[in-house]
Amino acid sequence: MLKIENLHAEVDGKPILNGISLAVNAGEVHAIMGPNGAGKSTLAYVLGGRPAYEVTGGSVSFDGTDLLDMAPDERAAAGLFLGFQYPVEIPGVSNVQFLRTAVNAQRRARGEAELSAAEFLRLAKEHAEALGMSMDMMKRAVNVGFSGGEKKRNEMVQMGIINPRLAVLDETDSGLDIDALRVVGKGINRIMRGPDKAVLLITHYQRLLDIVQPDHVHVLAGGRIVRSGGPELAVELEREGYGAIAA
């Protein structure tokens, strides 16, 4: 599904990614771990098409199509979802308004019929309730006045409604307490576990991986993947830290 080959990228002229190669197949969950400044968020932003993150070498394909040649909205319409470490607030725009506009824009891009207001509200209610959010919260401005945990749950609601094929989640567990972590982890499993979907999950901690249970774990350091393994690698990192591996 996702194939990254020798990817190099820089920000403001500073090299951050220094040759990442990674293949993510349909039905798989891959976890990316590593110390601060390793390039984890940069990788997520490059995949999402965030401006100012310049690719200087390598290639990325998504379902056989050149991902780097696509605009951010085209990547989203193709089925890529980017979850942010710090979800942004959008004053004056309700969650319902924002998500219905996003979903129908993607459906139009794929040649699908748009959802009516009633169809969308049924879908929104289903996913909001599954993540412990009321429809009153869905009618509020996007993330405005939300706690850290509410913002992350809201992002999971967005992911459920949009229903992507590939989710790139940048430190979704950041700022979550134990209860919110369980809710978000179960949300990832409910929405993204399937034979035609995949997840690239960036995290510092093994605790989320106890719930999501990745198929593969990779350590990113110095802009490169320096080690890969199974779920047991995350346990080792939790116990021993990154020092020996990232050195």
The CA distance from 95 to 92, in Å, is 10
pLDDT of residue 88: 87
Spell out the domains of the chain, with CATH numbers in brackets. Answer: 2-246 (3.40.50.300)
State which H helix or E strand residue 15 sits in: strand 14-24
- State yes or no: pLDDT of 246 exceeds 60: no
Count of CB atoms situated within 10 Å of the CB of 201: 25
pLDDT tens for each residue of 78-129: 999 999 888 889 999 999 999 999 999 988 988 899 999 999 999 999 999 8
Residue 243 is encoded by which pair of tokens? 């020092």
Q: Taking CA 65 as the corner, what is the angle to CA 198 and CA 161, rounded to the nearest 5 degrees? A: 40
145: left (phi over 0), alpha (psi -120 to 50) or beta: left
The CA distance from 164 to 240, in Å, is 35
3-state secondary structure of 25: coil
| Residue 179: Cβ-neighbour burial (10 angstroms; 0-12, 13-18, 19+) | exposed
State which H helix or E strand residue 159 sits in: helix 148-162
End-to-end CA distance of the chain: 31
pLDDT tens for each residue of 38-58: 899 999 999 999 998 999 999
pLDDT tens for each residue of 170-196: 988 877 888 888 888 999 999 999 999
- Whole-prediction pTM value? 0.91
- Express as a percent the part of the chain with pLDDT over 90: 66
pLDDT tens for each residue of 192-244: 999 999 999 998 878 889 999 999 999 999 999 999 999 999 888 888 888 76
